[in-house]
Amino acid sequence: MNKNILVRQRDISDCGAACLCSVAAYYKLNLPVSRVRQLAGTDKRGTNVIGLIEAAENIGMQARGAKATEESLGKIPLPSIVHLVLKDQLHHFVVIYKVSTGFIFYMDPAEGKMVKRPRIEFLNEWSKVVVLIMPAENFNPGNHTNSNLSRFWHLIRPHRMMMLQALVGALVFTVLGLASSIYVQKIIDHVLVEGNLRLLNLLSVVMIVLLFFQLTIGGMKSVFALQTGQLIDARLILGYYKHILELPQRFFDTMRVGEIISRINDAVKIRAFVNEVALDIVVNILIIF
């Protein structure tokens, strides 16, 4: 199974856009949900069938909305987007990929995975609305999305030298931290047993020097990490501010309350991950091997 067809919605109103992304991915066209969301005119209430049809036509596909029956469910071309009305009266779109005698297999964007549902349960929620989608003559497959790894590399690439310096500093700082264990081991094995005071004095001087270097390198590592964090904040947050100020009013009409602020908070989490978690993970891996 093509894993690209498993598309998870980012917001409660993104189910329709995520479903269209899934169908497009089935035909080897990978698109970000944000782009389809704009093409479909998704607003705070979600996406309607007309918006899905217009978005599908914009990406080079043929689409048509229809009312189907239970008997014709197994005859419609797959994959197709269907409309559900859940128990809490929430309107939801899913993509049917397989129909069998007793089960319906569909991609649920709320979970971002394939769901095997008993046919009777599915029919109880299905509103009989279906959006039939097929590639048009001008359809062009391709990949217009970026992987998380490539996005991460694009983020840290301008600051890779500073990140490398912070990484080296963290590694040396950790290695020097092992000196205290060696110091205690030498005292127990040689100083206490043999009463070697000259060795004790020598080890103490070396230990003091190493501690000084450890503190110095630790401070430099913190400075490099702090500078990298400031640069990432400037690149992410200030760039995001500049970007949203250039967007049309229609974009803000489609966003839910607090969604823009939540994305700024996500940028802060990314910076914290780069500065703290990523460095620690790499250092621990290097020490193990």
Of 123, 143, 163, which residue sits at a domain end? 143
- The Cα 96–Cα 257 span in angstroms is 31
Q: Average pLDDT, whole number, for the chain?
A: 80
**pLDDT by residue (tens digit) across 267-285?**
677 767 766 666 666 655 6
- The Cα 55–Cα 187 span in angstroms is 74
pLDDT band at 38 (very low <50, low <70, confident <90, very high): confident
- The Cα 164–Cα 167 span in angstroms is 5
> What DSSP designation does 67 have?
E
Same domain, 94 and 221: no
Longest dimension (CA), the chain: 94
- Among residues of the chain, what percentage have pLDDT more than 90? 26
- What is the model's pTM? 0.63
CA 265 to chain centre: 14
**pLDDT by residue (tens digit) across 199-209?**
777 777 887 88
What's the mean pLDDT in 30-47?
84
C-alpha distances in Å from residue 184, one per residue of 75, 88, 191: 77, 66, 10
Of 143, 163, 190, which residue sits at a domain end? 143
- The Cα 64–Cα 94 span in angstroms is 16
pLDDT at 25 over 80: yes
Range of the domain at 281: 148-288
pLDDT of residue 147: 64
**pLDDT by residue (tens digit) across 207-260?**
788 788 778 877 777 777 777 777 777 777 777 778 778 877 766 766 666 767
CATH number at residue 206: 1.20.1560.10
CATH number at residue 66: 3.90.70.10
pLDDT of residue 212: 83
**pLDDT by residue (tens digit) across 45-81?**
788 899 999 999 999 999 999 998 888 888 899 999 9
Same domain, 134 and 172: no
pLDDT of residue 152: 65
Residue for token pair 């970000």: 32
pLDDT of residue 62: 92
Same domain, 11 and 138: yes
pLDDT band at 108 (very low <50, low <70, confident <90, very high): very high
Please give the structure tokens belonging to residue 103: 């089960």
Same domain, 48 and 168: no
Provide the 10 A C-beta neighbour count for residue 50.
12
